[in-house]
Amino acid sequence: MATFNYSSSVFVYGAELQGRGEPTQKDIIVGSVMFVLALAAVFLGSVNLAIIWKMSIFHNAFGWFWASRTTVEVINNFLHVVYSAPMTILQPKNIPIPLATTVFVLCYFCAFYGPQLYEYAFIKCAPNMERNYSIVGTIINRTCWVLCCVTIGTDISTAIRIVYIRKVVRFASHSDDFKRDTRFFLQTIVQNFTMIIATTMIVVANNEYNLEDEAIRLFGFFTLIVTQVNNGITLLVFNPEVRRHLCGYQVFPFSVTSVSYSTKTARTNSAPKAVQEIIL
């Protein structure tokens, strides 16, 4: 820990990572909400990873992409569960600075990002700094917001195309491939909806520490975790193969069956011989 004296005021480096010693009601509420959301994200993300590993239909480029993103989200939210949320609720004042800094950096290293450099993440080194936000962070946040807006535009064009196929090309709308693509589209549009809200709040707050914008910053932070929870839910909701797998059904490339031994025996006893051979 290093102390500096600027303009007759004592500045403690890393003080923003320390608690106040006495948690307030707001600290307990914010920390509890963070813990519940992060724990849900960890659980759903772990279920997603298990599904991707177990089901062969996800052993492709889509599955690799989903697994890589989910892994980062699980590690990030796990750190919120074991560190950020408890520290927010308890507000301890004796947190070792190296530990707090390590947790902060580790969250971003999971995403192959180097926040330990000053030009990538803002580090307040004096009490009279002219700004309290990272310029590079501002550019990155706004770039992400533009990309989210572009995805919303592509979603709208895709929705128009789906409506055209359903109304004009009626034969194609009944194919299994079209129904699958429609499910994937609904899955992505639900994810993009929460993501555009999160990025908008992050851009508005701009990572500046301002008590007047505290509600906006908290809303943006929680919406980001909700987006990660939503990512875990969408894989379960929009994929019937996944739901059947979770319910104990066996998923095959072309059909989905779940036949117990007793049901199979009763069926073979009453079926013709040719049918018995097919079933067996």
Position 126 scores a pLDDT of 57
How far is residue 241's CA from residue 255's CA, in Å, rounded to a whole number? 10
- The rounded average pLDDT for each run of 10 residues, N- to C-terminus, in the chain (280 residues) is 44 66 89 95 94 87 86 91 90 76 66 52 57 73 89 84 75 66 78 85 75 78 90 85 75 40 44 41
Length of the chain equals: 280
Position 272 scores a pLDDT of 46
Q: How far apart are the first and last CA of the chain?
A: 73
Domains of the chain: 12-253 (1.20.1070)
CB 183 within 8 A of CB 238: yes
- Which residues does 105 contact at the CB level (< 8 Å), separation at least 6? 115, 116
Which amino acid type is present at position 87? M
Paired tokens of 74? 């699980």
How far is residue 63's CA from residue 68's CA, in Å, rounded to a whole number? 9
Position 276 scores a pLDDT of 40
CB 33 within 8 A of CB 222: yes
CB 246 within 8 A of CB 50: no
Beta strand 9-12 pairing with 256-257: unpaired
Position 174 scores a pLDDT of 64
Return the bridge partners of 261, or none. Answer: none
Position 1 scores a pLDDT of 36
pTM of the predicted protein model? 0.67
